[in-house]
Copies of this chain bind each other. A is one copy, B any other.
Amino acid sequence: MSEADIIREIFAPLTAEAPGADDLRDDAALLEKGYVVTKDLMVAGVHFLPKDPLDLVARKLLRVNLSDLAAKGAKPVGYVLGCVWPAGTKREAIELFAKGLHEDQETYRMALYGGDTVVHRTKTAPLTLSATFFGTPPRTGVTRRSGASPGDDLYVSGVIGDAGLGLAALKKEIKVTPVDKASLASRYHLPEPRLSFGAAIAGLATATIDVSDGLIADAKQLADASGLHAQIEAIAIPRSSAAAVWIAAQKNRWRALAQLSSFGDDYELLFSAPPSMRRSVTVAAKASRTDVARIGTLSKGEGVSLLDDRNQEIAVPKLGFDHFK
């Protein structure tokens, strides 16, 4: 039983065919009067480390939700917040959390509209956070995951794998230099929602998704929703210099690239566009000062394949993160 199965089989029938719910195939819904709505949970020990500073946790909560709005080209308006604190949480902890919210509200210009605050019965129950975000859709309308056509190019913004390496470094599972550790950990703690780039490609892209479960897993989601096969050239996957150093130190570099593309928490935009739009994509990237890389293509078929420089398929260590596996 995978998370996708549960959503498709158990929850999707509950949309009662409301058009804006899109059968729960997307991270965001569209309310009739003109709001894009998205909801992401964050749970201590699952989405963040229990000892992560609470201002950073707050900012990540906002940013992972903003990333969903960015993928739909939407402009943030505000959010409602749910917090379940472990028993015995001190006022100072909540203040630090609110400080983080305030800092990113200033950056991304939006307001808190309401919410609910609860305390767990025990001290060991994990801090659990929920945010529901509202944004206004782009004039061109919302791009879904399902709009790609055979022959479309596949693109991704920024670099891939830094957040996953940052988490591994924080957990001391990998060894990196102190400078690289700081830079990678910062990518894990503070993803950068691609709001202006998302708005810039809203009219060009045929399908969009943000990379939260890993590049390959999310490419599969986009391909599945569009009824197509996604082919990704490993060599084209954009990575930081810190990630390049880590890859170079691995025995099998293709396998390392596959691992990089299977980490989650990138919060970059993955999207498709027809080859006729290549120049427009470049212009959109420059206008919003965002790096973008063309990493593959979509074709008839299903699933996702990752290819090395001899067009051989690379085995993927695990297909993203699935809560139910």
Q: Which A residues are within 8 Å of any B CB, using their own CB? A: 1, 3, 6-7, 10-11, 13-18, 20-21, 24, 26-29, 31-35, 37-41, 43, 45-47, 77-78, 80-82, 84, 91, 94-95, 98, 101-102, 105, 110-121, 124-126, 128, 130, 132, 134, 323-324
Asked whether A80 and B39 contact (CB < 8 A) given A31-B134, A98-B14, A114-B21, the answer is yes
* Oligomer: number of copies: 2
Q: How far is the CB of A41 from chain B (nearest CB, A)?
A: 5
Contacts of A120 in B (CB 8 A): 43, 45-46, 126
B82 and A41 contacting across the interface, CB-CB below 8 Å: yes
A116 and B39 contacting across the interface, CB-CB below 8 Å: yes
B45 and A112 contacting across the interface, CB-CB below 8 Å: no
List 15 A-B pairs, Cβ < 8 Å.
Answer: A1-B91, A11-B81, A11-B98, A14-B98, A16-B110, A17-B111, A18-B111, A21-B78, A21-B112, A21-B114, A31-B134, A37-B114, A41-B130, A119-B324, A125-B125
Asked whether A10 and B98 contact (CB < 8 A) given A80-B39, A82-B82, A130-B130, the answer is yes
Contacts of A35 in B (CB 8 A): 31, 33, 35
State the CA gap A242–B80 with chains docked (Å): 38
State the CA gap A285–B282 with chains docked (Å): 63
Main secondary structure of the interface of A (DSSP, over half): mixed
State the CA gap A248–B102 with chains docked (Å): 53
A118 and B323 contacting across the interface, CB-CB below 8 Å: yes
State the CA gap A219–B141 with chains docked (Å): 45
Contacts of A112 in B (CB 8 A): 11, 14-16, 18, 21, 24
B102 and A21 contacting across the interface, CB-CB below 8 Å: no
State the CA gap A225–B104 with chains docked (Å): 29
Asked whether A43 and B114 contact (CB < 8 A) given A98-B11, A125-B126, A128-B84, the answer is no
Q: How far is the CB of A138 from chain B (nearest CB, A)?
A: 15
Contacts of A117 in B (CB 8 A): 3, 6-7, 11, 323
State the CA gap A21–B112 with chains docked (Å): 7
Q: How far is the CB of A119 from chain B (nearest CB, A)?
A: 4
Contacts of A84 in B (CB 8 A): 41, 43, 128
Contacts of A3 in B (CB 8 A): 117
A28 and B114 contacting across the interface, CB-CB below 8 Å: yes
State the CA gap A11–B130 with chains docked (Å): 15
Contacts of A11 in B (CB 8 A): 81, 98, 112, 115, 117
A113 and B20 contacting across the interface, CB-CB below 8 Å: yes
Residue of B with least CB distance to A5: B91
Residue of B with least CB distance to A39: B80
Given contacts A16-B105, A17-B111, 13 further A-B contacts (CB under 8 A): A10-B94, A10-B95, A14-B101, A16-B110, A31-B35, A39-B82, A41-B82, A43-B84, A43-B118, A43-B120, A46-B119, A46-B121, A82-B130
